[in-house]
Amino acid sequence: MKLSLLERLFILNPIRPLIQRHLEARQLHTLGGLLQGGKVLEIGCGPGSGIDLIFDVFGATTVHAFDLDHKMVARARRRQGRRNAAVQFWTGNARRIPIPDATYDAVFNFGALHHVVDWRAALAEVRRVLKPGGRFYCEEILAHYITHPFWGRLMTHPQMDRFDGVGFVAALKHKGFKVREVREMGDLYIWVIADKRR
Ligand SMILES: C[S@@+](CC[C@H](N)C(=O)[O-])C[C@H]1O[C@@H](n2cnc3c(N)ncnc32)[C@H](O)[C@@H]1O
């Protein structure tokens, strides 16, 4: 599902990359450490600020990234222009990733899965494209906020079958991940590091 006007303003705001760097990526780095291999996918990349962090903080050598919204992909492409061959983009849905099995050393998700109606199918795709032992670095927003009678209405998100922390971790395990680290901030945010079982 594409973003509402309000969420677009939040995501495209110049403060957003600072929050992503100093809060979100820091948590993922603390929990999951540096990459063990250089080939990485970001799902739902938005305007592309996460890609800076995947290179600069986590040490990727190649990043593939996609988003459902072609305008976001265009923004991300412009932002990453200087990296040329090291980054590849497409417009697409996390529900079906057009990439062979076992391609990536790591997959990153900075808050895209709560927009995906069939998020469990997207998790299965993330697992499929990871190499055995590959790492999923995941930051997400939880059902308590998404379905909140006031806060939830400020943004446009799917409302059915949203996940809380326990449900999200259970779904990862069910899809064949070994969940290594979990940190929750209130009922709002979750950070998870999960590896594809070998
Ligand atoms: C909250 S924004 C986060 C963007 C970016 N990851 C960031 O942190 O700045 C969620 C992004 O997921 C994208 N998105 C929504 N549904 C998607 C889907 N099914 N597949 C891929 N991307 C999707 C939206 O277009 C949006 O850019």
- In this model, does residue 179 exceed pLDDT 80? yes
Average pLDDT, the chain: 94
pLDDT of 82: 87
For residues 160 and 90, which has the higher predicted lDDT (pLDDT)? 90
Contact 68 CB / ligand 1 (< 6 Å): yes
Domain boundaries, the chain: 5-196
Give the Å distance between the CA of 93 and the centre of ligand 1.
9
Radius of gyration of the chain (CA): 15
- Does 40 sit in the ligand 1 pocket, CB within 6 Å? no
Q: How far is C-alpha 144 from the chain's CA centre? A: 19
Domain made up of 5-196: CATH architecture: 3-Layer(aba) Sandwich (3.40)
Percent of the chain clearing pLDDT 90 (strictly above): 79
Average pLDDT over residues 170-176: 98
Q: Indicate the pTM of the whole model.
A: 0.95
Helices marked H in 48-180:
49-56, 70-79, 119-129, 143-146, 165-174
**Alpha-carbon torsion 166, 115, 139, 84, what sign?**
positive
**Cβ–Cβ under 8 Å, residues 158 and 141:** no
State the Cα–Cα distance between residues 155 and 137, nearest whole angstrom: 24
Residue 44 one-letter amino acid: G
Distance CA 50, CA 2 (A): 18
Answer yes or no: is the C-beta of 3 below 6 A from any ligand 1 atom.
yes
The SS3 of residue 6 is: helix
The predicted-structure confidence for 6-38, as pLDDT tens digits, reads as follows 788 888 999 999 999 999 999 999 999 999 889
The pLDDT of 135-158, averaged and rounded, is: 86
Ligand 1 pocket, 67 CB below 6 A? Answer: yes
